[in-house]
């Protein structure tokens, strides 16, 4: 960032008042080029700032989009803290806590339970494993009520499998708002194929980019 831009951020871009004492400047909602002392100043400056703002906002988004993420959207195994692979056969997701555990930690826990002849439990939260699909569904619904993005996204996937795309849309939008990359990717497909919504290439691209920014594969 240039010195001129840095100087601009030390005072209101509209009226020129400096950030001193009880005067607090708030940055533009979309870029980091300017700050304002009030909403009125921001509105008055919009016409002069719009082009620069759009250009800078695009630069900032490209920076996020093309930055190599530290890990995939799967994150790390919560037990061994090693990165989780993309291959779904190498981990297990538990409905009791929505934690994704690698097969190594999963096997170690199962081996311990067999050797000690104790009841099977989740390797993370230690809750007893459900015996039926109905019990799994109840556990997932509890996690959904707790605003768990993984459980909410999973329910969205289940609704997609049933062909209930309108119902799936609500779940996936909620999970995406909570930062779930996979939910963003599935939303991009719904907007691409017009499933439950009208086809919208703008929203398709937006959600695909959000999935990529979150470390999800495209």
Q: Sorting pLDDT into bands at 50, 70 and 90, what band is 6?
A: very low
Percent of the chain with pLDDT over 70: 95
Q: How many residues are listed for the chain in this entry? A: 218
Q: What's the pTM?
A: 0.74
Rounded to whole angstroms, the Cα distance separating 179 from 95 reads 19
194 φψ region: left (φ > 0), alpha (ψ -120 to 50), beta (else): left
Mean pLDDT to the nearest integer, 68-84: 86
How do residues 15-65 score in pLDDT, each as one tens digit? Answer: 988 888 688 899 998 888 899 999 999 999 999 999 999 999 888 888 888
Tokens for 107, please give them: 């096997």
Q: Sorting pLDDT into bands at 50, 70 and 90, what band is 88?
A: confident
Q: What is the pLDDT of residue 20?
A: 80
The answer to whether 60 touches 29, Cβ cutoff 8 Å, is no
Mean pLDDT to the nearest integer, 65-93: 86
């Amino acid at each position: 960032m240039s010195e001129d831009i840095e100087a601009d951020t030390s005072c209101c871009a509209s009226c020129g008042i400096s950030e001193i004492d009880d005067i607090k400047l708030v940055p533009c909602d979309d870029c980091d080029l300017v700050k304002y002392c009030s909403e009125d100043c921001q509105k008055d400056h919009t016409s002069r700032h719009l082009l620069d703002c759009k250009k800078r906002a695009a630069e900032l988004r490209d920076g996020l989009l093309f930055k190599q993420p530290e890990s995939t959207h799967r994150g790390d195994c919560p037990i061994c803290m090693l990165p989780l692979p993309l291959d779904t056969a190498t981990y297990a997701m538990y409905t009791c806590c929505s934690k994704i555990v690698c097969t190594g930690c999963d096997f170690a826990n199962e081996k311990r339970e067999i050797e000690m002849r104790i009841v099977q439990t989740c390797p993370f939260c230690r809750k007893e494993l459900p015996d039926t699909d109905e019990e799994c569904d109840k556990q997932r619904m509890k996690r959904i009520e707790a605003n768990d993005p993984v459980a909410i996204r999973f329910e969205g996937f289940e609704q997609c499998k049933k062909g209930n795309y309108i119902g799936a849309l609500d779940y996936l939008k909620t999970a995406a708002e909570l930062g779930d990359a996979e939910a963003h990717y599935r939303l991009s497909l719904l907007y691409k194929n017009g499933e439950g919504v009208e086809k919208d290439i703008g929203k398709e691209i937006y959600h695909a980019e959000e999935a990529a920014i979150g470390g999800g594969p495209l």
